[in-house]
Structure 1
Amino acid sequence: MGIKHVFFDLDHTLWDFERNSDLTFQKIFKKQKIELNLNIFLEVYKPINFQYWRLYREEKVTKSELRYQRLKKTFDAVNYTISDVLIDEIANQYIEFLPHFNYLFEGTFEILDYLKDKYVLHIITNGFEEVQTKKMESSKILHYFDAIITSESVGVKKPNPKVFHHALKVAGAKQENSIMIGDSIEADVLGAINIGLEAIHCNFDHKKNIDYNFKSITSLLELKQYL
């Protein structure tokens, strides 16, 4: 049986999270008159944010802890004094402003146009439910997708098998006729492979020393080699 259903991750796969997030902080710093070098802040923030998303994925911190702590730890690390009230305000503004920046990875529209008549396309995302659909609307890609599955709607996060099983059920798909495409080896690729799905890794950063034996692409248009 051939592939009929293609499941995409959203952030870091189609939607250029880093670029859009940087622009969001730029807007917030200006609005809040935060006198701190944005580049220095972002350099410290990004690994902290990555660490907290991993903890969130592993159910070790809550959504509200993630949103607060990633900012608190960063401001502490750069020795910038800031109140908890303002941190909460920034956390809320981040979620409010982020979906309005809409940069996508190069080739997103071209590859979705190429795939949409051949397959049924879906999204599986660990991102916050209240912003993911807004991101897709703002970047004009929402109409390409049939089912949109957020981890919050399932109650657990990728790579938990429940997310993938739920996605297959919602989409009316089977393991043997589906494929998962995403940037995270742990959450997207191995999560999918572990329940019998095919998977393709989006290695847009050209990371070396990846030992796993799976398909990998460095740009979205390379998907044409596999689909």
Structure 2
Amino acid sequence: MIKAVFFDLDGTLHNRKTSIVPFIENQYERLFVYFSHIPKEEYVSRFIELDHDGYVWKDKVYGQMIIEYNIIGITCEELLKDYLTEFKYHCLAFENHLEMLSQLKKQGLLLGIITNGYGQFQLDTIRALNIEEYLDVIIISEWEGFKKPDPEIFERALKKLGVNATESVFVGDHPKNDIEAAKNIGMITIWKRDLTIKMVQADYIIDNLLEIPRILQVMEKEKYS
């Protein structure tokens, strides 16, 4: 019997690829006095390239931008602070995220987040998506001292909810950090398809979050049929 569903955050519930564009455009416009010598489209595209889907922390991104474009009058630290303060106002979720979570709660399931990243920043994202109230546990790598794909971060989440890996589902978009790591400790895996990645060896594959409640219902029916 499935008792809990855990989610990755960025790329699974949080549509970060969509969120980053309005943020960086807004930053460019707000701080235009420092970027006026750089075409807006170039500033945005170079930031996104250096950001590498969020896997490069922004101190390095801004440091490189300052060097490449000879940005003066504002420091890397100030740009990073702006990112930490303002990004949450641009966070966009994938379609149907609240309806999906609501359906899972109605099915009596425990829900959690297991995400890599900085604690307060990721918590701000969770709150911006209005999903905190649905969650029974939030596990963020900075606060735990372990990051995916380390099995310890998954084990801690399971322990906090008092469930076994075989009673749990993990939903994520990253082939190694999410799907392979969760599968290795015995969790059922659902891959949120990323069209930039080839096929992943997950138990289930989805394109829309609303597929998740239906998958779990089918799993329960198959178990008792």
In 2: Cα distance, 1:114 partner to 1:17 partner:
23
Q: Which has the larger radius of gyration?
A: 2
Map of 1:126 onto structure 2: 116
- CA shift in 2, pair 1:208/1:134, >3 Å: closer
- CA shift in 2, pair 1:22/1:226, >3 Å: same
SS of the equivalent of 1:201 reads strand
1:84 deviates by 9.2
1:147 deviates by 0.3
1:221 deviates by 1.5
Is 2:142 the counterpart of 1:152? yes
In 2: Cα distance, 1:24 partner to 1:126 partner:
21
In 2: Cα distance, 1:6 partner to 1:135 partner:
19
1:47 deviates by 3.9
- CA shift in 2, pair 1:210/1:202, >3 Å: same
Is 2:210 the counterpart of 1:221? yes
SS of the equivalent of 2:112 reads strand
Q: Is the 8 A contact 2:141 2:148 kept in 1?
A: yes
Map of 1:61 onto structure 2: none
In 2: Cα distance, 1:216 partner to 1:139 partner:
23
Instruction: Pick which of 177-186 and 208-217 moved more.
Output: 208-217
In 1: Cα distance, 2:209 partner to 2:103 partner:
11
Select the residue among 80, 84, 94 that pairs with 1:105: 94
Q: TM-score, normalised by structure 2?
A: 0.85
Map of 2:223 onto structure 1: none
- CA shift in 2, pair 1:213/1:183, >3 Å: closer
Is 2:56 the counterpart of 1:71? no
Map of 1:91 onto structure 2: 80
1:52 deviates by 7.3
In 2: Cα distance, 1:109 partner to 1:52 partner:
23
Map of 1:190 onto structure 2: 180
Q: Is the 8 A contact 2:3 2:168 kept in 1?
A: yes
Q: Where does structure 1 lack aligned partners over 5 or more consecutive residues?
A: 55-65
Map of 2:170 onto structure 1: 180
Alpha-carbon deviations, 1:8-56, whole Å to 9, x = none?
11111111212222222122212221223343233333343228727xx
Q: Is the 8 A contact 1:52 1:70 kept in 2?
A: no
- CA shift in 2, pair 1:25/1:215, >3 Å: same
Map of 2:10 onto structure 1: 11
Q: Is the 8 A contact 1:199 1:215 kept in 2?
A: yes
- CA shift in 2, pair 1:186/1:39, >3 Å: farther
* Partner amino acid, structure 2, of 1:168: L
Q: How many residues matched?
A: 212
SS of the equivalent of 2:210 reads helix
Select the residue among 52, 55, 67 that pairs with 1:53: 55
In 2: Cα distance, 1:135 partner to 1:157 partner:
18
1:162 deviates by 1.1
Map of 1:202 onto structure 2: 192
Q: CA RMSD in A?
A: 2.2
- CA shift in 2, pair 1:83/1:186, >3 Å: farther
- CA shift in 2, pair 1:206/1:95, >3 Å: same
Q: Which runs of 4+ in 1 moved over 6 A?
A: none
Map of 2:41 onto structure 1: 39
Q: Where does structure 2 lack aligned partners over 5 or more consecutive residues?
A: 217-225
SS of the equivalent of 2:191 reads strand
Q: TM-score, normalised by structure 1?
A: 0.84
